Amino acid sequence: MTNQEIPNLTAFDDAALDQAFAAVEAEARAAASTLTDESSVEAFRLQWLGRKQGRLTEISARWLKSAPPEAKKSLGLRFNALKDVVEGLLSQAAGSGPTDAALAAEIIDITLPGTRRLTGAEHPITRTLNEITRVFAALGYSVGVGPEVETDFYNFESMNFPPGHPARDTQDTLVVANQERRPLRDRLLLRTHTSPVQMRTMESQPPPVRLIIPGKVHRNDAQDATHSPIFHQVEGLCVDANITFSDLKGTLDHAMKALFGSAVKTRFFPSFFPFTEPSADVQISCIFCGGKGCRKCKNSGWIELLGCGMVDPAVFVFAAEKQPAYDPKKVSGFAFGMGVERIAMMKYGISEIGQFYAGDMRFLGQFV
Ligand code: DAH
């Protein structure tokens, strides 16, 4: 919109002034009513309130400066009133969202359905992790975490997998490139289990420890129906004076009943892990057939679920380098580790591990 030139005033009586100011105010209101977006609001501001060339500056120059002294007061009052109006129009246009003109241009069809937002849901892995964590939190365990990119020392050596030991072959993983110049113990790899957090925790605090460690781990395992190169574990560690194998059995028996129902039975089978001695695999009575024997338990009535054992004295010796209170003559403890995917698959009857990572809403939607 082009502006009228500001006319020179020829009369200074009240009626003439009223008329002259009313004309300019009407012009300002008309201009403000067409403002639709930020740039037009800014143009309005410059045009009316700009310090050098704005219309108010021009009015002040033309009307006030040349007015006879007796008219100055009434001119000034009207000028200030006009300025208030223009500033009001501006802040209204700038602050109140869409202007009348913008709203008039927008067509809202209230018969259309609204935009629906899908409610998010806990991923079944997260849910299972949280469930396991809650069971142990109720027993007084705290929750710890550690890095997924781990050193050879924490992942292997301090867990009693010495360099070159064949036990390392069972947990192959990706290693970070170009570290040949570093000592082996400092080289970085993607952790193969959550067990290294046992050592990180013991190094950072004296006994007693009751700790649960949920986390993501990596293995050089080919993907199949039950294996994935990236999966989740929950680790547990309990260290105190006089912790015995009975404490381990009681704790895990309770945890399995809390997770799978009070009818579930547990049994412990001899096994091997470098960081526990003795070590055991825990089996639970088959939750599908109640122990009678079915396809899921390969007719044995039992399903193997996790590894555990009494903390090996060699592990305490590593911890004692930083925290002397982990003297294997004075403390004892147990540890355990379980695969979260495996537990979630059993709890929810899932037969393909890949479902967890595919991001398919038809799968995930079942857990809302
Ligand atoms: N770290 C073992 C693995 O990934 C699992 C495990 C077994 C953890 C026995 C433990 C344990 O703490 O005591 O295969």
Task: Give the end of a domain, one of 37, 70, 105.
Answer: 105
Note if the pTM is more than 0.85. Answer: no
Is the domain of 185 the same as that of 44? no
Counting ligand 1 atoms within 8 A of each CB, the residue from 154, 156, 193, 245 with the most, and so the one to mutate, is 193
Ligand 1: residues whose CB is within 6 Å? 193, 195, 235, 273, 276, 307-309, 335-337
Report the alpha-carbon distance of residue 46 to residue 59 in Å, rounded: 15
| β-bridge pairing 230-240 and 149-151 | unpaired
Q: Identify the CA nearest to 146 among candidates 257, 19, 237, 245.
A: 237
Residue 158 Cα to ligand 1 midpoint, Å, equals: 14
Q: Does the pLDDT of residue 363 top 70, yes or no?
A: yes
Per-residue pLDDT of 70-91, as tens digits, reads 888 989 999 999 999 999 888 8
Report the alpha-carbon distance of residue 357 to residue 44 in Å, rounded: 55
Residue 293 lies in a domain: yes
Is the domain of 150 the same as that of 258? yes
Residue 15 Cα to ligand 1 midpoint, Å, equals: 96
Q: Is the distance from CB of 123 to CB of 360 less than 8 angstroms?
A: no
Report the alpha-carbon distance of residue 31 to residue 44 in Å, rounded: 8
Residue 338 lies in a domain: yes
Task: Give the end of a domain, one of 74, 105, 136.
Answer: 105
Is the domain of 131 the same as that of 99? no
DSSP 3-state of 316: helix
Per-residue pLDDT of 139-163, as tens digits, reads 999 999 999 999 999 999 999 999 9
* Count of domains for the chain: 2
Residue 359 Cα to ligand 1 midpoint, Å, equals: 29
Confidence of residue 1 (pLDDT cuts 50, 70, 90): very low
Residue 187 Cα to ligand 1 midpoint, Å, equals: 22
Task: Identify the domain containing residue 21 by its residue range.
Answer: 14-105
